[in-house]
A and B are shown apart, each in its own frame.
Chain A
Amino acid sequence: MASKFWTQSDSGSEEERQSSYDSDPENEEDTPAEPTNTAVGNRYLQQNASDSDDSEEQKRVIRSAKDKRFEEMSATIDQIKNAIKINDWVSLQDSFDKINKQLDKVMRVTESERVPNLYIKALVILEDFLTQALANKDAKKKMSSSNAKALNSMKQKLKKNNKQYEYLISKYREKPESEEVSSEEEDDSDEETVSEPRDDESKVGSDSGSDTDNNIHNRDVHDPDMIKKKDKFMDKEFKKDPRDITWDTVNKKLKEVVAARGRKGTGRVELVEQLSFLTRVAKTPAQKLEILFTVVSAQFDINPGLSGHMPINVWKKCVDNMLAILDILNQYPNIVVNDMVEPDENETQKGADYNGTIRVWGNLIAYLERIDAEFFKSLQCIDPHTKEFVERLRDEPLFLVLAQNVQDYLEKTGNMKAAAKVALKRVELVYYKPQEVYDAMRKLADLSEERDDVESEAEESKWSDEQRAPPSFVVVPEVVPRKPTFPESSRVFMDTLVSLIYKYGDERTKARAMLCDIYHHALLDEFSTSRDLLLMSHLQDNIQIMDISTQILYNRAMAQLGLSAFRNGLFTEGHSCLSELYSAGRVRELIAQGVSQSRYHEKTPEQERLERRRQMPYHMHINLELLEAVHLTCAMLLEVPNMAANTVDSKRRVISKTFRRFFEISERQILMGPPENVRDHVMAATRALSQGDYQKAFDLITSLQVWKLLKNKDAVFQMLKDKIKEEALRTYLFSYATSYSSLALDQLSKMFGLSESTTHSIVNKMMISEELHASWDQPTRCIVFHDVGLSRLQALAFQLTDKLSILAESNERAVETKFGSGLGGGGLDGLPLRRRDAGDYAAAVGSGGGGNRWQDSQSYNQGRQGGSTTGRYGGGGRSFGPGQTSGGGGGYSRDRTGQTRGTSSYGGRHSYQSGSSKMDSSARMVSLSRGIR
C-alpha cells in the first residue's frame, strides 16, 4: 500500500519536475539528467517521510503555480534583454512595470519574503544598462523624444525601486557567478541535491539566492524575517553612520511611522518592528520614552477585535517595553508622564542633562490595565488542559513585577489614586490563591527569574549575532527590579495592598478590593473576619447597581464565604450564603464559570459573546461540584428537622426552596437507583436522616468524591458528623415526641451516639424555643413530655383560623374599596385623613397597596370593634342609598371629607388608633384560643 503510494507520488513529482524543467528557459540541457532526478526525488521523499500526505499534495500544487510565475518572469527578462539590445526604453519601461507586477505574484505564491534571484538579476541588468545609457550622452541626445522621456522616468523608477533591494543587489554584484553556479548546480547536478537542503541552509546567510523548490519548507523560520530586517536597515539609511543620526531624523521617522499606523496596507507587526528599531536609535531618553509608548500601543494593536488575545510573545515584549519605560522614568525623574496635556513638539529634544521637567504623553495605568486584560483574555482563551495554559500561567509573576514597579513609581510621584488602581490589579491576581498556591507562585517567580536570565542572555547573543544591530544610543541601566518580591504570606501581601486601596482608591476600586479581601479571608478560613468585612461594607445593599464584573466578584466572594462557613462548621451561615446563588439554578452564570443553557429563551449572539468575555479563567474557578455539595448538605441539615417539625403544614415554613424541590422530585421517583451525582447522594442522605439513620446519612455524604478538594477534610467531617447526629436527634424528637410520655436521657444519647451533655443541651434548646413541650425530671434523668403538642385536628383548626382572618380582612378591604367613599365621609376617620394628605384620592384608591392599605383596614376593624357603629352605618347607608351610585360620589365626598370630617367623630379616632395594636393582638389571641378549645 505504502509503496504504491510512494511510487505514485514519485511519478507525480517527476512529471512536475519535468514540466518545470521543460519550461525553464535556462535549463534546456537538463533533460538528460532526468532518470537520476527520479531517484533523488524518491530519496527526498523518504527523507521527509514524516510529512503528511496532504502537505505533500499542497506543495505540489504550489510548486506548479510557482513554476508558472517564474516562467513568466524569465520570459519578461528575455524581453528586457531584447529591448536593451535595440535600446528601446519605451518597451523597457513596460517590461519593468510588468516584472514588478510579476514579482508581487511570485512573492504571494512562494509565501516567502525573499525576493527571487531572477528579479534581482533583472534589476542588475537594468541598472547597468541605465548607467551605461546615462554615461553615453551622445546616444542620449540621439534618442527619440518618447524614448528619452521613457529613459528619464525609468531612471527615477529604477532608483526608487532599487533602494529596497540595495542590499541584495550589492550581494549579487559581489558574486553574481555564485548565483549562476548555484542555480546551475541545482539544475544540472541533481545527484547532489540530497545534501542540498542542508547546504542551502548554511548558504542562506551569504547567498540568499537560489530559491529552489525543494528547500523552501526546510528553511529556518526566521530566515525571511532577517532579510526583511536587513531591507529595513537599508531603507532607513541609518546604518551608514550612527553618528549622523540626529534627533530630527528620528523624530521625522517616528512621525512617518506613526502616521502610517492604522492605515490600510500597513502591517501591524512590521510597524512594531520599525518602532522598536527606532527605540534603539533614539537620541534622548525622553524621545526613547515617547517611542516606547508608541511601541506599546502599537503592540496592543497587533491583535484586532475583542475576542482574541494578544500573541504571547508580543505580550512578553510588551511587558519588557513597559519595564524599559519604567527604567527611564526612574532614571530620569524629571520626565513626567501625563495624558492630560498635549506636550510641546520638541519637548523630547531636551537631553538627559536637561534639568527642567520634560512632559511626555502616555498613560501608564491604562497600559498596565490593558496588559492585565490581555493576560486575562489569553487565559480565558487557552484550553486549560493544555501545557500552554500552564506556561501562560507562569507569566503571572512577570506581570506582578511590572505592576509592582508601576505602583512604586506612582507612589513615588505621589499619584496615590492611580497607585491604588494598580494595587487592585495586583490584588486581583492574588486574592483567589490559597497560601499553598501563593507559595508555589513565589517559588516559581524565583525560578523563572534565573531561567529568564539565562534565556535572555542567550537570546541577546543570538540577536546581536544575527542582526549586528547598532547598540542603542540611550543606554538605560535596568533600574527597576526585574524580580518580584513577595512577602512571606499572602495575607500580608493582601493587607498591605488593600490598606493602600482603602486609603486612596475610588469607590469601585475600594469595592472590588473589599470583595477580594473578603474572598481571601474566606479562603483562609477566617469566616468571621470576612463576614464582618462584608457586613460593615454594606456591599450587599448596593451591589445591584455596580457593574457586572464586580457583581460576579461579589457572587464569587459569597460562594467562597459559604464554603468557608461550611469548613468552620457554621452550616446555617453557609446555607444563607449559598442559597441565593442556587435559587434560580443559574449558578454557573452567576459566578461566570460557564454558560447555562436556558430552555425558555434563546440568547442573542451578542449576549453570548458578552457572557463569554466575562468568564473566569480556569485557574480561578471555584469547584462547582463542591459548592453544590456544600449547599445541599447545609440545606439538608436545616431542612430535615424543619420538615419533621412542620408535618402538618409543610408548605409554609420552607428554608430552602431549591432543596425542597429536589427532594420532591426524588420522592416522586418510582425506582431508586444507587446515588450517582451530588444531588442523588444528598437526597439519599436526607432520606436516611429523616428516618434517624445518622450513620448512613453521614456515610452517604462522605462518599462524595468532591470532598477531597476540601481543606482539612477530617476536621470538617468530624463537625459534619456531630451536626448530623444532632439534627437526627432533633428530627427524632420532632417526629415522635407525641408518642412518648417520658424518655430517658441515657437512651436518647445512646441512640444517637451523642454525649449526654450534648443531648441535654440540644433538648434544652428545643424546650426553650418551644419546639418541644417537655420538662426535665432531674432525679430520674428523664424528659417528661407534656401533652400539649397539637393534634392534627388542632393544627388544622389553627390554620383555618388564620385563613379565616385573612378572608375577613380581604372582605373588609373589598367592602372598603366598594363603599370607601361613603364610609370615608361617615364613621371611618383613619382613611380620609390619610387620603387628604395624599391629595389625590384616585391615587390612594388605585395604587395604594400593601402596608398602607392593610393598616387602613386594621384601623377600620378596630373602629368597628370599638363600637363606632353608628357612623359606619351612616356612611354605609348613604352609599347604599338609591340616588348615590358610586359614580359621582367620589369627588363629592372627597370635598366633603376635607371640610367636615373634623366634626364627625374626630376625637374617637385617636383613641382607637392609640390602642389599635394592643386591641388587635388581644383580639387575635382570643380568637386563637377559641380555636384551640
Chain B
Amino acid sequence: MANPPIRSFLQAAKAEEVAPALRVVQMEGLAILKIIKHCKEFSPALVTGQLLGLDVGSVLEVTNCFPFPNREDDEELEAEGANYQLEMMRCLREVNVDNNTVGWYQSTLLGSYQTVELIETFMNYQENIKRCVCIIYDPSKSNQGVLALKALKLSDSFMELYRSNNFRGEKLREKNLTWVGIFEEIPIKFSNSPLISAFMTELEADTPVAQGDLDRLQLSTKPYMERNLEFLMECMDDMSQEQQKFQYHYRNVARQQTQQQAWLQKRRAENMARKAAGEEPLPEEDPSNPIFKPIAEPSRLETFLLTNQISNYCNQINGVAGLSFNRLYLMKALHEN
C-alpha cells in the first residue's frame, strides 16, 4: 500500500480550478474498516453510511465515515435521520475530524445495487457536492476471501440525461450512451499514515497465512452460485416485462402508422378530387388529428439498469466459476500427491 503523495493545499486549490476528472479514490484504512464492520454486522440487511473526507484535485480522499441508523420507511424517522446526520457532523468537527461530506457507502447483496434509488440518491448528493462517490461493499462476496469494495459514480452524460429525464432511443444514440456508460467505477487506493503502517508492521504475526487466504480456498460455491442464478432469473423476468412494454409500444406505433397512412391516402385522393374541381388542396398535415400525436416511448432507464445487473451477475458467476475451477484443480493435484 503506497503512501499518499504529499500535496499542499495550495496545489490542490490550483488543481481545483482546472477541475480535473476524478481519477482515484483514496481511502484511509480506518474508514474501510469501519465500513466493513458496519456492513458485516448488519448483513444480510442493507445499511448505509456517510463518507467524510477531502476533495483534492483528481483524488478524492476518504478519511472517515459514520453509519446511518437503520431507517424504516417512515417520514418522521427520515427527518430524524437528517438531524442525526447533522448532529454527527458537528460532533466530529469538534473532535477535529474531517467533516466534509464526499459521498456515502452502502452494503449490497450479491451486487444488486444498480437501482433507480441509487441513482436518485446520487443525484441528490451531486446537487450539493460537486464531486462525490459511492462506496459499495458486498459482505457476501467478501466471505469468499475477496475484498469486495467498489467506488462508483454516475457518468456525466448519464446525469445530464437523467436531469432532462429523457431516455428515448434517439436521445441515447445521440449521446452515444449505452448501459455500460451509466456507472463509472473509480479505482480505490488505500492509504495509511506512516505511523499506522509502522505500527501494523510491528503487529504483524509471523504466520504467512491470513484468514482471508483461508476463505479464498473454500470449495463450496454452490449456494453462492444458486443465489446468483436466482437473482439472474428474476432479472430475466423483469427484462421480459420491459420488453413486452416495448413490444406493446411498437405495436401501437405500427398501428398508428397505418392509420396515418390511411388518412394520408384519403386526404390525397380528396385533394386530387379538389384539384379536378379547381379548389385549393387541403394541407397534408393535420396536427390536431389525434392519430398524429406521437406515442410516448417507454423509458429505457429500467432496461439499462437491468442489463447492468445482469452483466454484474454474469461477471460474478464467471469469476466464481473460474476461481472454483482453479481450486478444484488444486485440490485434485493435492489428492494425487
Residue B43, interface by CB 8 Å: no
Partner of B255, one of A793, A820, A842: A842
Residue B41, interface by CB 8 Å: no
Residue B260, interface by CB 8 Å: yes
Q: A888 touching B261 by the CB < 8 A rule?
A: yes
**Residue-by-residue, is B248-270 near A (CB-CB < 8 Å gives 1, otherwise 0)?**
00110111011111000100000
Q: B226 touching A817 by the CB < 8 A rule?
A: no
List of B residues within 8 angstroms of A715 by Cβ: none
List of A residues within 8 angstroms of B120 by Cβ: none
Residue A818, interface by CB 8 Å: yes
- CB-nearest residue of chain B relative to A846? B255
Partner of A803, one of B240, B246, B253, B258: B240
Closest CB-CB distance, A933 to chain B, in whole Å? 12
Q: B247 touching A810 by the CB < 8 A rule?
A: yes
For the complex, what is the distance from the CA of A817 to the CA of B258, rounded to whole Å?
13
Q: A817 touching B261 by the CB < 8 A rule?
A: no
Identify 20 new A-B residue pairs, CB closer than 8 A, beyond the known A792-B226, A807-B240, A817-B247: A793-B225, A793-B229, A796-B230, A797-B229, A799-B233, A800-B236, A803-B237, A803-B240, A804-B236, A810-B244, A813-B247, A817-B251, A818-B250, A820-B254, A841-B258, A846-B254, A846-B255, A886-B257, A888-B261, A890-B261
Residue A891, interface by CB 8 Å: yes
Q: A890 touching B258 by the CB < 8 A rule?
A: yes
The 6 closest A-B pairs by CB, nearest first: A842-B258, A817-B250, A803-B236, A796-B229, A845-B254, A846-B255
Q: A814 touching B247 by the CB < 8 A rule?
A: yes
List of B residues within 8 angstroms of A793 by Cβ: 222, 225-226, 229
For the complex, what is the distance from the CA of A842 to the CA of B262, rounded to whole Å?
10
- CB-nearest residue of chain A relative to B259? A842
Residue B232, interface by CB 8 Å: yes
Q: B240 touching A846 by the CB < 8 A rule?
A: no
Residue B239, interface by CB 8 Å: yes
List of B residues within 8 angstroms of A886 by Cβ: 253-254, 257
Give me 19 A-to-B residue pairs in the complex whose CB atoms sit less than 8 angstroms apart, sorted by A's number.
A792-B222, A792-B226, A793-B222, A796-B229, A800-B232, A800-B233, A803-B240, A806-B240, A811-B243, A814-B247, A818-B250, A818-B253, A842-B254, A842-B259, A845-B251, A845-B254, A846-B255, A846-B258, A891-B261
List of A residues within 8 angstroms of B236 by Cβ: 800, 803-804, 807
For the complex, what is the distance from the CA of A804 to the CA of B236, rounded to whole Å?
7
List of B residues within 8 angstroms of A813 by Cβ: 247
Partner of A796, one of B233, B239, B247, B254: B233
Query: Measuring CB to CB, which residues of chain B are less than 8 angstroms from any residue of chain A?
Result: 222, 225-226, 229-230, 232-233, 236-237, 239-240, 243-244, 246-247, 250-251, 253-255, 257-261, 265
Q: A887 touching B260 by the CB < 8 A rule?
A: yes
List of B residues within 8 angstroms of A800 by Cβ: 229, 232-233, 236
Query: Measuring CB to CB, which residues of chain A are less than 8 angstroms from any residue of chain B?
Result: 791-793, 796-797, 799-800, 803-804, 806-807, 810-811, 813-814, 817-818, 820, 841-842, 845-846, 886-888, 890-891
Closest CB-CB distance, B241 to chain A, in whole Å? 10
Q: B258 touching A887 by the CB < 8 A rule?
A: no
For the complex, what is the distance from the CA of A886 to the CA of B236, rounded to whole Å?
29
- CB-nearest residue of chain B relative to A817? B250
List of A residues within 8 angstroms of B232 by Cβ: 800
Chief secondary structure at chain B's binding surface: helix
- CB-nearest residue of chain B relative to A889? B257
List of B residues within 8 angstroms of A806 by Cβ: 240
List of A residues within 8 angstroms of B250 by Cβ: 814, 817-818
Q: A814 touching B233 by the CB < 8 A rule?
A: no
Closest CB-CB distance, B228 to chain A, in whole Å? 9
Q: A796 touching B226 by the CB < 8 A rule?
A: yes
Q: B258 touching A814 by the CB < 8 A rule?
A: no
List of A residues within 8 angstroms of B240 by Cβ: 803, 806-807, 810
List of A residues within 8 angstroms of B261 by Cβ: 888, 890-891
List of B residues within 8 angstroms of A814 by Cβ: 243, 246-247, 250
- CB-nearest residue of chain B relative to A849? B251
List of B residues within 8 angstroms of A797 by Cβ: 229
Q: B255 touching A845 by the CB < 8 A rule?
A: yes
For the complex, what is the distance from the CA of A860 to the CA of B104, rounded to whole Å?
49
Closest CB-CB distance, A850 to chain B, in whole Å? 13
- CB-nearest residue of chain B relative to A792? B226
- CB-nearest residue of chain A relative to B221? A793
List of A residues within 8 angstroms of B230 by Cβ: 796
For the complex, what is the distance from the CA of A221 to the CA of B2, rounded to whole Å?
120
For the complex, what is the distance from the CA of A817 to the CA of B256, rounded to whole Å?
13
List of A residues within 8 angstroms of B260 by Cβ: 887
Closest CB-CB distance, A381 to chain B, in whole Å? 54
Closest CB-CB distance, A543 to chain B, in whole Å? 35
For the complex, what is the distance from the CA of A799 to the CA of B229, rounded to whole Å?
9
For the complex, what is the distance from the CA of A817 to the CA of B253, rounded to whole Å?
9
Q: B233 touching A807 by the CB < 8 A rule?
A: no
- CB-nearest residue of chain B relative to A797? B229
For the complex, what is the distance from the CA of A886 to the CA of B251, rounded to whole Å?
12
- CB-nearest residue of chain A relative to B251? A817
- CB-nearest residue of chain A relative to B235? A803
List of A residues within 8 angstroms of B251 by Cβ: 817, 845-846
List of A residues within 8 angstroms of B222 by Cβ: 791-793
Q: A887 touching B247 by the CB < 8 A rule?
A: no
- CB-nearest residue of chain A relative to B169? A818
Q: A810 touching B243 by the CB < 8 A rule?
A: yes
Closest CB-CB distance, A813 to chain B, in whole Å? 6
Q: A887 touching B255 by the CB < 8 A rule?
A: no
Closest CB-CB distance, B48 to chain A, in whole Å? 31
Closest CB-CB distance, B88 to chain A, in whole Å? 40
- CB-nearest residue of chain B relative to A892? B261
For the complex, what is the distance from the CA of A503 to the CA of B255, rounded to whole Å?
55
Closest CB-CB distance, A915 to chain B, in whole Å? 28
For the complex, what is the distance from the CA of A429 to the CA of B302, rounded to whole Å?
65
Q: A890 touching B246 by the CB < 8 A rule?
A: no
Q: B254 touching A817 by the CB < 8 A rule?
A: yes
List of A residues within 8 angstroms of B226 by Cβ: 792-793, 796
List of B residues within 8 angstroms of A817 by Cβ: 247, 250-251, 254
For the complex, what is the distance from the CA of A841 to the CA of B255, rounded to whole Å?
10
Partner of B257, one of A791, A796, A887: A887
List of B residues within 8 angstroms of A796 by Cβ: 226, 229-230, 233
Q: A807 touching B258 by the CB < 8 A rule?
A: no
List of B residues within 8 angstroms of A818 by Cβ: 250, 253
- CB-nearest residue of chain A relative to B261? A891
Contact status of A890 and B229, CB under 8 A, knowing A807-B236, A807-B239, A810-B244: no
- CB-nearest residue of chain A relative to B246? A814
Closest CB-CB distance, A795 to chain B, in whole Å? 9
List of A residues within 8 angstroms of B259 by Cβ: 842
For the complex, what is the distance from the CA of A890 to the CA of B225, rounded to whole Å?
47
For the complex, what is the distance from the CA of A142 to the CA of B230, rounded to whole Å?
124
List of B residues within 8 angstroms of A845 by Cβ: 251, 254-255, 258
For the complex, what is the distance from the CA of A817 to the CA of B240, rounded to whole Å?
16
For the complex, what is the distance from the CA of A810 to the CA of B250, rounded to whole Å?
13
**Which residue, B236, B244, B257, B259, has most C-beta atoms of chain A within 10 A?**
B257
For the complex, what is the distance from the CA of A811 to the CA of B232, rounded to whole Å?
17
For the complex, what is the distance from the CA of A8 to the CA of B225, rounded to whole Å?
96
- CB-nearest residue of chain A relative to B260? A887
List of B residues within 8 angstroms of A803 by Cβ: 233, 236-237, 240
List of B residues within 8 angstroms of A792 by Cβ: 222, 226
List of A residues within 8 angstroms of B239 by Cβ: 807
- CB-nearest residue of chain A relative to B225? A793
Closest CB-CB distance, A594 to chain B, in whole Å? 41
For the complex, what is the distance from the CA of A888 to the CA of B253, rounded to whole Å?
12
Closest CB-CB distance, A592 to chain B, in whole Å? 41
For the complex, what is the distance from the CA of A814 to the CA of B300, rounded to whole Å?
14
Q: A807 touching B243 by the CB < 8 A rule?
A: yes
- CB-nearest residue of chain A relative to B232? A800
For the complex, what is the distance from the CA of A796 to the CA of B236, rounded to whole Å?
13
For the complex, what is the distance from the CA of A312 to the CA of B236, rounded to whole Å?
70
- CB-nearest residue of chain B relative to A887? B257
List of A residues within 8 angstroms of B253 by Cβ: 818, 886
For the complex, what is the distance from the CA of A846 to the CA of B253, rounded to whole Å?
10
